[in-house]
Chains A and B, each alone.
Chain A
Amino acid sequence: KQEVTQIPAALSVPEGENLVLNCSFTDSAIYNLQWFRQDPGKGLTSLLLIQSSQREQTSGRLNASLDKSSGRSTLYIAASQPGDSATYLCAVRRNDMRFGAGTRLTVKP
């Protein structure tokens, strides 16, 4: 059974800092990995998707990497802004899609 773990559970940083969120998964037989953002009480917004054959994806200030063999992914956020404050979730897909518990990020002005 796939287990997805995200570290840290919560993170608070001053505006402008670069930061890294971590995601690990137990079964490396995945099709893809996707990073999401969730604002309180809302649905999830897709940030980046990495296919199993890819090593990384970039979108603006976000960069996600994937090391499938070691079961790890990182989400790098450059020059953080208060608007980045949200919960960030990673999810891995084999047949269904399993989520980590998320990292709650607070960026202070």
Chain B
Amino acid sequence: EAGVTQSPTHLIKTRGQQVTLRCSPISGHTSVYWYQQALGLGLQFLLWYDEGEERNRGNFPPRFSGRQFPNYSSELNVNALELEDSALYLCASSRRVGQDNEKLFFGSGTQLSVL
């Protein structure tokens, strides 16, 4: 069974540009979570999608947005990139809250560098 897959693995952008990161959850998982992990810092919660809807978002500006598609894959969009957006972006998936085996499974991440 395939795990959570993220693309691309690495990305280099310049300030002011826009970027789209992609995530495919494990088959059968309906929830997708996005986290930002800046160098040396902990995981900061960005967004949670379930069944195609945004369920919660962390304390990030509106230029961070995303969506979840009918097949439960997800995109994270970041507009007007700033230097401090440089980080590892991690996607995770799980079954819906309340179901058995609600473990969160992570992808390997997208390393974004903003120059």
* The one of B4, B55, B103, B108 that contacts A42, using a Cβ cutoff of 8 Å: B108
Within 8 A of A (CB), among B23-61: 33, 35, 41-43, 45, 48, 55-56
For A93, the chain B residues whose CB sits under 8 A away are 97, 102, 104
Chain A binding surface, main DSSP class: strand
With contacts A96-B33, A99-B43 taken as known, whether A43 is within 8 angstroms of B106 at the C-beta atoms is yes
* The one of A42, A97, A100, A101 that contacts B104, using a Cβ cutoff of 8 Å: A97
Contact size range, B: 20 to 34
Closest to B37 in A: A38
Within 8 A of A (CB), among B88-102: 88, 90, 92, 97-98, 102
Find out whether the CB atom of B42 lies under 8 angstroms from the CB atom of A99.
Answer: yes
Find out whether the CB atom of A95 lies under 8 angstroms from the CB atom of B109.
Answer: no
Chain B residues near A (Cβ < 8 Å): 4, 33, 35, 41-43, 45, 48, 55-56, 88, 90, 92, 97-98, 102-109, 111
Q: Apart from A43-B109, A95-B97, A99-B35, what 12 extra A-B contacts exist at CB < 8 Å?
A: A43-B107, A43-B108, A46-B103, A46-B104, A46-B106, A49-B102, A95-B55, A96-B33, A97-B33, A97-B48, A99-B42, A99-B43
